[in-house]
Amino acid sequence: MSPFQEFFDACVGTWTTERTYHYLTLQEVERSHTEFAIQPVTVEGKAQVLADNQYPAVPDLDQLPGYHMEFVTVSDKGDRVNQSLNLLFVPRQQDGPMIVGDYLRDRAYEEARPIVSQFQFNPVSRELLMTTTYSRVVSVDSITLINPTLRIRKILNYRRPAEGESLQEVVLVGFGVEQKDSE
Q: Give dist(CA 64, CA 42) in Å, integer.
A: 11
88 touches 46 (CB < 8 A): yes
Q: Over the chain, what is the mean pLDDT?
A: 95
The pLDDT tens digits for 55-80 are 999 999 999 999 999 999 999 999 99
Residue 183 has pLDDT above 70, yes or no: no
Domain enclosing residue 48, as ranges: 3-180
pLDDT-based confidence at 20, cuts 50/70/90?
Answer: very high
The answer to whether 5 touches 11, Cβ cutoff 8 Å, is no
- The arithmetic mean of pLDDT across residues 152-181, rounded, is 97
* Residue 21 pLDDT greater than 90, yes or no: yes
Gap between the Cα atoms of 106 and 165, Å rounded: 28
**Coil vs helix vs strand at 66:** strand
Question: What's the number of domains the chain is made of?
Answer: 1
Residue 48: pLDDT band by 50, 70, 90 thresholds? very high
In this structure, are residues 1 and 7 in contact, taking their beta carbons and an 8 Å threshold? no
Give the pLDDT band of residue 116 (cuts 50, 70, 90).
very high
- Which distant-in-sequence residues (6+ apart) come within 8 Å of 75 by Cβ? 30, 31, 32
Q: What is the CATH number of the domain that holds 87?
A: 2.40.128.20
pTM given for the model: 0.93
pLDDT band at 111; cut points 50, 70, 90: confident
Query: Which amino acid would we find at residue 165?
Result: E
